[in-house]
Amino acid sequence: MDVAVFSTKPYDRRFLDAANAAGGGKHRLTYLEARLAPDTAVLARGARAVCAFVNDRADAAALEAFAGMGVRLLALRSAGFNHVDLAAARRLGVTVARVPAYSPEAVAEHTAAMILALNRSIHRAYNRVREGNFALDGLLGFGLKGRTVGIVGTGRIGVAVAQTMLGFGCRVIAQDPYPDAAVEALGVTYTGIPELLAASDIITLHCPLTPETHHLIDADAVRRMRRGVMLINTSRGAIVDTRAVIAGLKLGQIGYLGLDVYEEEADLFFQDLSGKVIQDDIFARLLTFPNVLVTAHQAFFTAEALTAIAETTLANITAFEEAGRALHEVSTEKLA
Ligand code: NAD
């Protein structure tokens, strides 16, 4: 099948080419550096499938362009599908497929890395030592054992985070609209959001971005947290109201902030902007806090995860071509 692959970097090509070759080289992959947007959708002309990543915007205009060009499949290289207008896809007959699970451990381990880096000020210690400053003032950490970790969303990643934090001797509480007995059996206690906000020393977000979770962490939620709380978001940027957490950081209400995702990341992340002036003043303000650690949506970025993403993406495309159905279709039934 002819596939137009948007937002590709050298590492995407490497892993997708390897997976395609392993499957007998069935598909012709055209690699596009451009991000998918209404005005770049036309680059998919001639393709029957489009492959897109997290900051590609598959809105109604892009999907209409695809449908007009004969594109029948949108194969996402991600688990999340909040960037796709599913109602438009359904109306236009474009099947949407995703990679539901590629390496929950990759994101969970990155989450743990952020917690430990912030807690022990590793990000600051690294710079200090390189500059010959071996003083410890300002680097005082706190022990994780016995601390309460609140996990929002106990799906594949949330569970892996729970197991890791239980391993550190933390008490783990969680909120999820679908509590899971197997998660409780691990030693996790489900609570409501107000209790989780009030009781947690560390809050980490692992729910999808939906209308219900948009700005779940807003000014009111920040006020309800323990003073000096650590907040980690490796899920989707818009679950957090960035202005509210900046206000919380300025007041000391939030003591540590770790972000792998950011509401307006599409204009920043996955690019080398080191020679440019950052125009996003809110993001620039975040970078001024000593107790904020930002990574640029790299939690998924391990060899294991990229291999699994490429293999599942190509398996989705092959199944769609051969059987008319992708392996992991995003259900649009509820949108009928
Ligand atoms: P999953 O579908 O296995 O789990 C999501 C969980 O969130 C489910 O248990 C669901 O019931 C729960 N949930 C749904 N609505 C909720 C709400 N309102 N409040 C609390 N919980 C709610 O997904 P996953 O594989 O664990 O991934 C979680 C999220 O992580 C994805 O949606 C994606 O946005 C993000 N993610 C980020 C990266 C990265 O590189 N930073 C990589 C992969 C996934």
Q: Report the pLDDT value the prediction gives residue 118, as an integer from 0 to 100.
A: 98
Q: Whose CA is nearest to atom 2 of ligand 1?
A: 155
Q: Does residue 130 share a domain with residue 82?
A: no
What confidence tier does 335 reach under pLDDT thresholds 50, 70, 90? low
Q: Does residue 166 share a domain with residue 288?
A: yes
Rounded Cα distance between 198 and 333, Å, is 37
Q: Report the pLDDT value the prediction gives residue 334, as an integer from 0 to 100.
A: 56
Q: Report the pLDDT value the prediction gives residue 331, as an integer from 0 to 100.
A: 87
**Residues 77, 265, 311, 328: which is the catalytic one?**
265
Number of domains into which the chain is organized:
2
Q: Report the pLDDT value the prediction gives residue 336, as an integer from 0 to 100.
A: 43
Q: Does residue 110 share a domain with residue 98?
A: no
Task: Give the Å distance between the CA of 262 and the centre of ligand 1.
Answer: 15
Task: Give the Å distance between the CA of 169 and the centre of ligand 1.
Answer: 24
Rounded Cα distance between 116 and 333, Å, is 42
CB 19 within 8 A of CB 310: yes
Q: Report the pLDDT value the prediction gives residue 332, as an integer from 0 to 100.
A: 75
Q: Does residue 175's CB lie within 6 angstroms of at least one atom of ligand 1?
A: yes
- Read off the pLDDT of residues 77-128 as tens digits, 9 standing for 90 and up: 999 899 999 999 999 999 999 999 889 999 999 999 999 999 999 999 999 9
Q: Does residue 158's CB lie within 6 angstroms of at least one atom of ligand 1?
A: yes
Atom in ligand 1 nearest the alpha carbon of residue 234: 41
Q: Does residue 205's CB lie within 6 angstroms of at least one atom of ligand 1?
A: no
Among all chains, which residue has been given the structure tokens 């303000």?
285
Task: Give the Å distance between the CA of 200 and the centre of ligand 1.
Answer: 19
Q: Does residue 98 share a domain with residue 113?
A: no
Task: Give the Å distance between the CA of 304 and the centre of ligand 1.
Answer: 19
Over residues 61-67, the mean pLDDT reads 97
CB 330 within 8 A of CB 324: no
Q: Report the pLDDT value the prediction gives residue 113, as an integer from 0 to 100.
A: 98
Q: Which CATH number is 79's domain given?
A: 3.40.50.720
Q: Does residue 158 share a domain with residue 98?
A: no
Q: Does residue 104's CB lie within 6 angstroms of at least one atom of ligand 1?
A: yes
Does the pTM of the predicted model rise above 0.85? yes
> Among this protein's residues, is 265 annotated catalytic?
yes
Rounded Cα distance between 273 and 264, Å, is 15
- Read off the pLDDT of residues 249-262 as tens digits, 9 standing for 90 and up: 999 999 999 999 99
What confidence tier does 333 reach under pLDDT thresholds 50, 70, 90? low
Q: Hey, CA dihedral for 52, 57, 63, 66, is it positive or negative?
A: negative
Q: Does residue 152's CB lie within 6 angstroms of at least one atom of ligand 1?
A: yes
Q: How many CB atoms within 10 Å of residue 139?
A: 12
> Among this protein's residues, is 214 annotated catalytic?
no
For residue 228, what are its two tokens? Answer: 């000096």
Q: Hey, CA dihedral for 133, 254, 118, 120, is it positive or negative?
A: positive
- Read off the pLDDT of residues 163-186 as tens digits, 9 standing for 90 and up: 999 999 999 999 999 999 999 999
Q: Does residue 236 share a domain with residue 161?
A: yes
Rounded Cα distance between 276 and 60, Å, is 32
Q: Does residue 142 share a domain with residue 52?
A: no
Q: Does residue 98 share a domain with residue 109?
A: no
Q: Does residue 261's CB lie within 6 angstroms of at least one atom of ligand 1?
A: yes
Q: Does residue 261 share a domain with residue 325?
A: no
For residue 10, what are its two tokens? Answer: 């050298």
Q: Does residue 146 share a domain with residue 231?
A: yes
- Read off the pLDDT of residues 197-211 as tens digits, 9 standing for 90 and up: 999 999 999 999 999
Q: Whose CA is nearest to atom 4 of ligand 1?
A: 155
Q: Does residue 158 share a domain with residue 234?
A: yes
**Residues 57, 98, 236, 328: which is the catalytic one?**
236
> Among this protein's residues, is 83 annotated catalytic?
no
Q: Does residue 322 share a domain with residue 202?
A: no
Domain extent at residue 199? 104-294
Over residues 267-288, the mean pLDDT reads 96
CB 94 within 8 A of CB 52: no
In a 10 Å sphere around its CB, with 0-12 CB exposed, 13-18 middle and 19+ buried, how is residue 272 labelled? Answer: exposed
Among all chains, which residue has been given the structure tokens 């998660």?
183
